[in-house]
Structure formats: structure tokens, C-alpha cells
Amino acid sequence: MLDHSSVVTRLRAAGCVFAEDEAELLISTARTPEELDAMVARRAEGLPLEHVLGWAGFAGVRVAVDPGVFVPRRRTEFLVEQAVALAPEGAVVVDLCCGSGALGVALVAGITGAELHAADVDPAAVECARRNVAAAGGRAYQGDLFAALPDGLRGRVDVLLANVPYVPSEEIELLPSEARVHEARVALDGGSDGLDVLRRVTAEAAHWLAPGGLLFFETSERQVPLAVAAVTEGGLVPRVATCEERYATVVVARRPAQAG
């Protein structure tokens, strides 16, 4: 049977930098010695830790993360913190491009009386998000961006979270294999300059946001000028927030109260 130090040794040999921490998580998640052995083997083969565990800790909540579904990144906790600070009580929250649904679940855990809706184009993501979002009292839908949402949400959304794919297509091959091999391409690829999906979101967001409603999305520092231009073109008023420690750049875009 594997003990803590032999798990650490196997993980270290496989190149896991945080072998000690990972060993603790694997040992506390496995229900049997056989399961632990299999989990350590999968991790040593290069599967993301969260796919091996079947869950991720994110911004104070624990969410299921199924194989192939985008693993919520620590950096994105900054986006959620920005949203928690600005979301009104009883907010109507939409998590678009939701992946596992982690962002919406974490946000509604931080405010009172919220109504949560989440959507994604990838059936595997929606299947995973459905469980996470239902546990938070919300609903998940499958489809292309806003087309997935119930029509009754038009003009009612107080907080629109949209952590869209934003890696430029030709940079996908530079990503670590945990992302490149084990996450769906549709979760990563943002088109030639990385902003294709974002532009589609900003073009429609004002129709779905309530007056004064807010759109939150992550981007790279390099993409900020183009992202801000897309927001402005969509009739929203942008503000950029950065967290150097987490290497995170978030754009917060407000629908003016008097916009039509």
C-alpha cells in the first residue's frame, strides 16, 4: 500500500513541483488503496491534478471538474473577487462560457439571494456545470453564447461573467500539456488575436444586461487595448483591474443606466 512518502516520491519522479501538497490531496480523496494507486499513476502520466481528483478548490468553493473540462485557474479568483465586491444583493447572475461553472458558483456563494444561470457550448462542460450549479440553486444550459439562455433574461442580467477562451490560435501549441492535451480546444482557442469569442460577447452583452449591469471578463495585458475597444463598441463603459501577484487582468464593463 502506498504511504505518503512513496506517493511524494512517485509524484516527484514524474516532475510534479508541488508533490507534497498533491500527495495530501490524492490521499484524502482516494477511497481505497487501489484507487490511490490508480490516481497517482494518472497524475504521473500528466493528467491535471483536478481531473485526477475530480474536483477543484476555487475562490472558497469546491466544484466537480470532469475529464476534458477546463480547470478553473487560481488567477481567475481575482475576477470573482471583483464581481463579489460589486454585485448587488439578489443579483441575476449569468456565467457564460461557464466550463465547470466555478465562477458563478463562487460568486453566488459570496452574495445573498442571487439567481444563477450558466451556459456553455461544450456538452461535457454543461454536464459538469449542471451538477455544480444545481447545488448552488441555479440552472445550466447548452448552446452557443447567449443563444443558450432563456429569452426572459434579456435586459435583466445584473452580473455577466464571461471567462471566454482568449489564447490566440497560434499560441495554443505553446501551452503546457496539461491544458493543450487535457482540456478541450474550444475552451482555449480565441481565434487569430484571441479576441474572437470576446467580440461576440461584447457585441450582444448590452441587450442582456440590466441598466447599470456589469460584464466581467479576463484578458491578457497585451490584449487590453483591443478588448477595451470591443467593449466600447458594444455600448459599455470599461474599467481595467489588475492583480500583479496573480498575473491577472480583468475588464469590468458597465451598461450605462440610460442605454436602450
Ligand X SMILES: C[S@@+](CC[C@H](N)C(=O)[O-])C[C@H]1O[C@@H](n2cnc3c(N)ncnc32)[C@H](O)[C@@H]1O
Question: What is the contact surface with ligand X in residues (CB under 6 A)?
Answer: 70, 72, 76, 97-100, 102-103, 120-122, 125, 144-145, 163-165, 184, 186-187, 197
CB of 76 vs ligand X, minimal distance in Å: 5
Q: Which is nearer to ligand X, 24 or 193 (CB)?
A: 193
CB of 194 to ligand X, least distance (A): 11
111 or 179, CB closer to ligand X?
179
CB closer to ligand X out of 37 and 204: 204
Q: What is the CA radius of gyration of the chain?
A: 19
In the complex, least distance from residue 119 CB atom to ligand X, rounded to whole angstroms = 6
Reduce the secondary structure of the chain to three states and give it as a string.
CCCHHHHHHHHHHCCCCCHHHHHHHHHHHCCCHHHHHHHHHHHHCCCCHHHHHCEEEECCEEEECCCECCCCCHHHHHHHHHHHHHCCCCCEEEEECCCCCHHHHHHHHCCCCCEEEEEECCHHHHHHHHHHHHHCCCEEEECCHHHHCCHHHCCCEEEEEECCCCECHHHHHHCCHHHHHHECHHHCECCCCCCHHHHHHHHHHHHHEEEEEEEEEEECHHHHHHHHHHHHHCCCEEEEEEECCCCEEEEEEECCCCCC
CB of 50 to ligand X, least distance (A): 10
At position 11, the amino acid (one-letter code) is L
Q: Whole-number minimum distance, CB 64 to ligand X, in Å?
A: 12
CB of 248 to ligand X, least distance (A): 12
Give the angle subtended at the CA of 228 by the CAs of 227 and 233, to the nearest 5°: 100
Nearer CB in complex with ligand X: 61/187: 187
Q: Which residue is nearest to ligand X (CB)?
A: 99
